[in-house]
Structure 1
Amino acid sequence: MALNIGRTATAIALVLALGCGTAMAQTASPPSYADTIASMARQDGLLPMFVDQAAGKVLIQLPPPASDGVMTRVIHHTALRTGVGSAVTGLDRAQIGSTNILAFRRIGKRVVAEFENPRYRALAGSIEEQAAARDAFVGSTVWAGDVVATAPDGSVLVDIAGFLTRDAHGIVETLRRAGQGTLRPVADLTLVDPAAARSFPDNLELEARLTFAVEGPGPVLNQIAPDSRLVSFDVRHSFIRLPDAGYQPRRFDPRTGAISTVVTDFSAALDAPMVTRLANRFRLVKTDPTAGRSTVVEPIVFYVDRAAPEPIRTALVEGAQWWAQAFDKAGYIDAYRVEVLPEGVDPLDARYNVINWVNRATRSWSYGQSVVDPRTGEIVKGSVLLGSLRIRQDMLIFEGLVGADQTGTGGPNDPQEVALARIRQLSAHEVGHAIGLLHNFAASTQDRASVMDYPVPQIAIREGGLAFEDAYAVGMGAWDDFAIDWLYADADQATLDAKAEAGAQQLRFVSDGDARVGGDAQAWGSLWDNGADPVAELDHLTQVRRIALDRFGLAALPDGSAVNDLRRRLVPIYLYHRYQVDAVAKLVGGLDYGYPVKGDGRETATPVPAVTQRAALAGLVATLRPEALDLPEPLLGLLAAQQSGDGDPQHDIEVFAGRQGQVFDPGSAVEAAADITLTALFAPQRINRLVDAGRRDPAALGLGETLDAVTSAVFAPATGRLAEPARRVQARTALTLAGLLRGNGLSGTSAAVIDGRLQALSARLKASTAADAVQRAHDRWLGAVLTDRERLDQLLTADRFETPTPPGSPIGAEACWHCE
């Protein structure tokens, strides 16, 4: 018994001792500020930063909190140091993420990082009004961390690792939407990179390595990643000093082509708009504010990535430098320049506006991005991402048009020289986005008035051949000069309004919202088109296309190339007219309108004249004729050539599909070309406008006339080698119209008109007495299908007769408002 008591007493004493030790540990003072930073390397800049390379730790020092708890505010954005290298995912090297006003706020013993919401505010209101506007709209607290130590002046040290290692760039969601699997962070493989930490007077640059485990990796990750089950990204975080109050915001005007930031001001007067738009632009301050022309305090400088090889690098500098002309005309002397990025400079550093050279597994868009202060619209950094495969695709097209033997000759028809001329345009275009400009897809209809359009080469026909001496414009167009003058020139509001009105009277402007959808009503907004007369240009391009196809063959290949590569090189030549078809189709049921403001005289949209619409319809019908779609016999033999070895994804997705096994199927090419015309012409929105036009003006081109013109031409007799291409187009036409009746886009009247025409066509085809047995069988089969709803639904649902059209525009995002 005594033994048990002794043991119990000992146990109690041990527990008490352990408890006291725990309590002492809990109440022990945290490490002092001096002890915490003693072994760390200090970097002074926007915020003091302390780095411990060995421990892999980065601390930042935040000022003492103000009365509202806020310690500091900065502009924050992410960027990708490393990308996927895929057009499908869009996660490119140097891609910039969203820009936010980031506030660090102390709450008790912790520091939180929150994204504020300056889009909703009450700038001119009382303190109470401002607070009410601020508190009415949700913000985003994105991280919280413990105070590591407190300095004698009340500032605090925080370990920023948790903020940096979260998925701030949205990688998980982006890859999920792209069908590349379900990702989850791997904690042991996600860490801050202290070697990348840099501190400068106006910015901090920090990086983290994020690794994700992938469940069910998609085809892109399986193709590209060394181990598609684990993917790693280096993500940059830039913290930028808030610009001072010296910047003067500029009110957006819809007629000027500026990119805008939308804000809602609840303190606006009752007779003033509450929702306003601010034009995004760099700050330019004249050294002599009273002078019409003056040098500037700080010029806009863009740097070309040293990763771009020569002679491409020089071409990028030359093209981007064109904007200096427009700034000079706007009254700024030496206010804009372009240089090669100095050796050793980090292209992701927020202090530099950079034209980045980006590699991908397949060709894709190039981008112009900006980091914009969301409070004012001031651009604080420009970033351009140029896809490196664009110039190679251009070379492929130009060699297909004039022959690979012209490469390196140095003449005007040298594909390399033409491709370099094209990339100068691309460089200027993307910088245009980065300095604050939208697309202008009407510029190509006004003597190449802007680099902000998507240009196609102007090709002359001379002595039966093609000539490229004036393929691309050089320098700024009239629209570019106008847009920079309005956006950047010193002027009061009345002068700016007058400039915008004058520009709208003289120059067409059509941006993305009225140009990218095939059924758009705007007649003058198209991508990759050319010429003041779209119908005449379509006729010209069909002649260019025919000349190129008639000579297309081994001459289109560089020496040593696999003959099978002709299949890929054929596509852009065979479909060379595809974008001009879209431009001509927009004349049918089209309208001419701008972006007017009340009182500028352009408030009313006007229909395209009926005579122009009928000419456009005739031009489109011509592209469906079998003689326009047939390929010469010798070429078909070359296109049958095969390739051994592993597949090349660039090749595999950019050739015509087929139903003849491994050999080339000319019928599938015919169907793809026909679909381009039929899809553009018979967009549901266009069909509905044609019905309404007939109601409003009996002389207008209507839906019935349009259908009759197409079907009478498509179902005209064809014999010999042209009979099969004709049958392919006939089937595509009938099935396209029938498919429209299954969707929700048509009005009741539109559906009734189409159904009536199909019924009549079906009756005529079922009664076919064509002399050719194959044609007769085809006619009767197609006629029977059109009136057998169950059979038709099965065919359309199963996509049995779908022929995918190879990509024309860069592969990736379909709608790309700040890219080309």
Structure 2
Amino acid sequence: MKLTLKNGLLLLLLLPLLAFGSAQAQNLPSISSKTAGMKKFPGFYTFYWDENNGKIWLEIDKFGQDFLYVNSLPGGLGSNDIGLDRGQLGGQRIVSFKRIGPKVLLVQPNLRYRAITDNQNEARAVEESFAQSVLWGFKAEAADGQRVLVDATDFLLRDAHDVIGSIRRSNQGTYRLDASRSALYLPRTKNFPKNTEFESTLTFTSDNGGFIVRSVAPDEQAVTLRQHHSFIELPDSNYTPREADPRAGYFGISYFDYATPVNQNIEKRYIARHRLQKKNPSAKVSEAVKPIVYYVDNGAPEPIRSALLDGARWWNQAFEAAGYKDAFRVEVLPDTADPMDVRYNMIQWVHRSTRGWSYGASVMDPRTGEIIKGHVSLGSLRVRQDYLIAEGLLAPYEDGKPENKAMMEMALARIRQLSAHELGHTLGIMHNYDANNNASVMDYPHPQVQLDRTGNINISNAYGTSIGEWDKLAVTFGYQDFPKGTDEKKALDELLAQGRGRGLTFISDTDARSPGGAHPTAHLWDNGTNAADELMRVLEVRRKALQNFSEKNIKPGAAMSTLEDVLVPIYNFHRYQTEAAAKLIGGMRYTYAMRGDKQLVTEVLDKKEQQKGLDAMLQTISPEVLTLPENVITLIPPRAPGLGNNRELFAKRTGLTFDPLAAAQASADFSVSFLLHPERASRLVEFGARHNTLSLQDVTSQLIGQTWKSRRLNGLAGQVQLQTEQVVLSHLLALTQNQNASYQARAVAASALADIKQHVTSQAKRTRDTGYKAHLDFALARMEKPEEVKPTKQLNLPPGAPIGDGVFGCE
């Protein structure tokens, strides 16, 4: 594969200007005289530090030579919501310097559109058809022959990471870069033979900073961060790209090659992966020419650091399965190393003010997909969330007894799995949501909590302890170094076929994350082989945890109001399995089949399997599940001074006091929103017409029977019952008005409303219960104006994901 693009015409046009530039250079001072007294940093691109003026002078000696330019954010804002994290990678671009008279331009070619050919005219035609980008313009200030000196200070002190845009898009104020409060950061400005690293301290000012910025910055009017710039020598041409296969689950690159014959696909796709070669490709097991080495942040405390090391090292199992010996290593970052230095693959421990996502990103060669640097960002509050879940499950704080070690063991087990998961992204591997029961660390795992023989909660096997079989298959697909003469495409096809024979398949984010999704096994945060069975099992664990809930769920001396913090993840313990069970309703099995691979293409689930999912879903909106026990409610007072309300708690409509009805409504609304999702409703109509399977009429009829037409209850359970009925009514009314639903789905929803109206009218005439009568009259009034009903989520659940874990390559 030829990796260089022809710039014949551009060079032809620039020759007169280059000649002019040479003449001009004769009038410029020499580089040595201009830089006299400055500190010189020799390396990939030599530069000079002018301490008197606070400037960086860049010596350019490689005109027309492509290199990789990467910007990043070594010093973050500390807010998950805004997303400006410590260690966050930014843009990565192939660029080159072009000199035109006194100007030096930093030019980015358009590699999305190429012509991989030796025909310069053909390559030129493509190059001229699509825009390039000039990222910056410099002025030549000194010269020695073909070497030119430019002032790079303004380039390095600009907002390359678009901090201003990120804050603005989060509605947190309009900021501007204050040059008077910005400067170069010398401790992380260094030079090496193949990479040049610059760093700057930038201050952004505003008079209307938002509340999120105010919560993390000392002064929201002046936010100071650091930004990093890397100039990196491109890899040599000895790397061979590997063609992508949608069944293998890899990230990668794609581009349009206009030199492709008309009878072939013009879009080329290659996977992202590190360069890894066997010393002996013919050997079944061989050492690597150069092992892949990752480094764990030395700022991570123990025992977390050891957990990060352990989990990351799981991947060596996968490389061993691919025939490598000692080809993957994980070490602690040396104190002298810079985490943003491209030479270090990183697992970075990132702090934020609130819990949030972790993610794995990479610096890669845009020409080929070769990964140059893997960079994992792990949110430090993740481990505390798992510990909180364990506290809610175990109620461990009995007087006179030590803390239950199982809680810390569960939290650390999750950190090991998370370390492995995010590192997998930096190896090029996507999420795989068709990999339950620890078949892949690239799935999102909910803690596997069991009831033991005595009915007590057991969390000892909450998370997996090793790499999965899918992960081994994926690494072998991406990193196997085949002997010379091997038909690589055929060998990779056979590898995937063997995996399918062992039940190893891949389903991506798009399929799993959609709330109206159809795949019966592709979900986030679920377990088990059948989503409905697992939901019923999870509800039993939840029931037991709520039954045990008491002041023993918090430490002695803690404010009683903090019991609500512990209660939230337990009350909502079934939320993800609920979403998984919903996908059985209107569900369809499918694969990313390719012609001739003999895979299942599509198969609508039979009525029995869909009904099983519906039965489980209806359990989640039963008053028995939604109603909190009285002994739990009475334990939770208004928030103690200094604690305050926050988004991690239940929504309230009762002022300061705990609101069990609001918690129940949010949970019911969550379930019904999946049941009556417009995509699911439309699919039920279609599938019902094509097959003898569950219909939308079946769903609405059973939903109404479970709620509006069910036996009347008293007390708090009765109030939960009434508000759940109004939730169902809201979603049916909204479905009739939803332009994204099919006409027949809206018609069936309208028919269900007519059924409710008839029932409500009849009940209103007979009841003597004034409260129930008010409920019925209110429902009738709402049905008169369906267009005024909001489609979904009148009360949101507290944040769920990440429950202990997600954007591209994230949890």
Which residue identity lines up with residue 340 of structure 1 in the other structure? V
1:503 alignment counterpart: 499
Partner of 1:439: helix, strand, or coil?
coil
How far is the alpha carbon of 1:210 from its aligned partner?
A: 2.0
2:251 aligned with 1:259, yes or no?
yes
Mapping of residues 207-606 of structure 1, within 5 Å: 207-405=199-397, 414-444=406-436, 447-462=437-452, 463-491=454-482, 492-505=488-501, 506-602=503-599, 604-606=601-603
Q: Deviations over 1:481-538 (max 9, x none)?
A: 1000001002322101221233345313111011111001222211000000111110
Which residue identity lines up with residue 111 of structure 2 in the other structure? P
Give the TM-score taking structure 2 as reference length.
0.93
Distance 2:612 2:358 in 1: 35
User: Is the 1:261–1:377 contact (alpha carbons within 8 Å) kept by the matching residues of 2?
Assistant: yes
How far is the alpha carbon of 1:410 from its aligned partner?
A: 9.5
User: Is the 1:535–1:615 contact (alpha carbons within 8 Å) kept by the matching residues of 2?
Assistant: yes
Partner of 2:97: helix, strand, or coil?
strand
Distance 1:546 1:819 in 2: 31
2:667 aligned with 1:673, yes or no?
yes
How far is the alpha carbon of 1:543 from its aligned partner?
A: 0.3
Partner of 1:103: helix, strand, or coil?
strand
2:627 aligned with 1:630, yes or no?
yes
2:21 alignment counterpart: none
Q: Which moved more, 1:530-539 or 1:773-782?
A: 773-782
Q: Deviations over 1:297-346 (max 9, x none)?
A: 21111100011110000000000000000001101111101111112211
2:79 aligned with 1:86, yes or no?
yes
2:110 aligned with 1:117, yes or no?
yes
User: Is the 2:397–2:552 contact (alpha carbons within 8 Å) kept by the matching residues of 1?
Assistant: yes
Residue number among 714, 725, 730 corresponding to 1:735 in the alignment: 730
Distance 1:28 1:690 in 2: 78
Which residue identity lines up with residue 177 of structure 1 in the other structure? R
Partner of 2:75: helix, strand, or coil?
coil
User: Is the 1:116–1:140 contact (alpha carbons within 8 Å) kept by the matching residues of 2?
Assistant: yes
1:73 alignment counterpart: 66
User: Is the 2:38–2:48 contact (alpha carbons within 8 Å) kept by the matching residues of 1?
Assistant: yes
Distance 1:606 1:572 in 2: 35
User: Is the 1:413–1:468 contact (alpha carbons within 8 Å) kept by the matching residues of 2?
Assistant: no
Q: Which moved more, 1:623-632 or 1:421-430?
A: 623-632
Partner of 1:251: helix, strand, or coil?
coil
Which residue identity lines up with residue 34 of structure 2 in the other structure? T
Residue number among 113, 118, 121 corresponding to 1:128 in the alignment: 121
Give the TM-score taking structure 1 as reference length.
0.92
Q: Which moved more, 1:654-663 or 1:360-369?
A: 654-663
Partner of 2:40: helix, strand, or coil?
strand
How far is the alpha carbon of 1:406 from its aligned partner?
A: 8.3
1:191–1:411 CA distance, 2 compared to 1 (3 A): closer
User: Is the 1:150–1:157 contact (alpha carbons within 8 Å) kept by the matching residues of 2?
Assistant: yes
Distance 2:804 2:125 in 1: 43
1:13 alignment counterpart: none
Q: Deviations over 1:416-447 (max 9, x none)?
A: 11100011000000000011000001111xx3
Distance 1:81 1:303 in 2: 16
Which residue identity lines up with residue 196 of structure 1 in the other structure? R
User: Is the 1:412–1:469 contact (alpha carbons within 8 Å) kept by the matching residues of 2?
Assistant: no
Mapping of residues 607-686 of structure 1, within 5 Å: 607-645=604-642, 647=644, 652-686=646-680
Q: Which moved more, 1:491-500 or 1:173-182?
A: 491-500
1:270–1:795 CA distance, 2 compared to 1 (3 A): closer
2:758 alignment counterpart: 763
Which residue identity lines up with residue 339 of structure 2 in the other structure? P
Partner of 1:818: helix, strand, or coil?
coil
Which residue identity lines up with residue 323 of structure 1 in the other structure? W
How far is the alpha carbon of 1:628 from its aligned partner?
A: 1.2
Distance 2:701 2:801 in 1: 32
Distance 1:105 1:389 in 2: 46
Mapping of residues 88-107 of structure 1, within 5 Å: 88-107=81-100
- Supply the RMSD in Å over aligned alpha carbons: 2.2
Residue number among 53, 57, 60 corresponding to 1:59 in the alignment: 57
How far is the alpha carbon of 1:192 from its aligned partner?
A: 2.5
Which residue identity lines up with residue 468 of structure 1 in the other structure? I
How far is the alpha carbon of 1:597 from its aligned partner?
A: 1.5
How far is the alpha carbon of 1:365 from its aligned partner?
A: 0.1
Partner of 2:700: helix, strand, or coil?
helix
Partner of 1:58: helix, strand, or coil?
strand
How far is the alpha carbon of 1:783 from its aligned partner?
A: 2.7
Distance 1:253 1:209 in 2: 43
* Larger-Rg structure: 1
1:20 alignment counterpart: none
Q: What is the percent sequence identity of the aligned residues? A: 39
Unaligned runs of 5+ in 1: 1-25
User: Is the 1:204–1:240 contact (alpha carbons within 8 Å) kept by the matching residues of 2?
Assistant: yes
2:776 alignment counterpart: 779
User: Is the 1:460–1:466 contact (alpha carbons within 8 Å) kept by the matching residues of 2?
Assistant: yes
1:705 alignment counterpart: 698
Partner of 1:431: helix, strand, or coil?
helix
2:46 aligned with 1:48, yes or no?
yes
User: Is the 2:385–2:804 contact (alpha carbons within 8 Å) kept by the matching residues of 1?
Assistant: no
Partner of 1:135: helix, strand, or coil?
helix
Partner of 1:686: helix, strand, or coil?
helix
Unaligned runs of 5+ in 2: 1-23, 483-487
Distance 1:558 1:62 in 2: 62
Partner of 2:467: helix, strand, or coil?
coil
1:325–1:412 CA distance, 2 compared to 1 (3 A): farther
How far is the alpha carbon of 1:290 from its aligned partner?
A: 2.7
Partner of 2:564: helix, strand, or coil?
helix
1:345–1:757 CA distance, 2 compared to 1 (3 A): same
Distance 2:345 2:25 in 1: 51
How far is the alpha carbon of 1:32 from its aligned partner?
A: 2.3
1:133–1:478 CA distance, 2 compared to 1 (3 A): same
User: Is the 1:412–1:418 contact (alpha carbons within 8 Å) kept by the matching residues of 2?
Assistant: no
Distance 1:638 1:646 in 2: 17
Distance 1:372 1:199 in 2: 20
Partner of 1:405: helix, strand, or coil?
coil
2:139 aligned with 1:138, yes or no?
no
Size of the aligned set, in residue pairs, is 777
User: Is the 1:53–1:194 contact (alpha carbons within 8 Å) kept by the matching residues of 2?
Assistant: no
Which residue identity lines up with residue 57 of structure 1 in the other structure? K
1:684–1:795 CA distance, 2 compared to 1 (3 A): closer
Q: Which moved more, 1:289-298 or 1:670-679?
A: 289-298
Distance 2:646 2:62 in 1: 60
Distance 1:623 1:645 in 2: 35
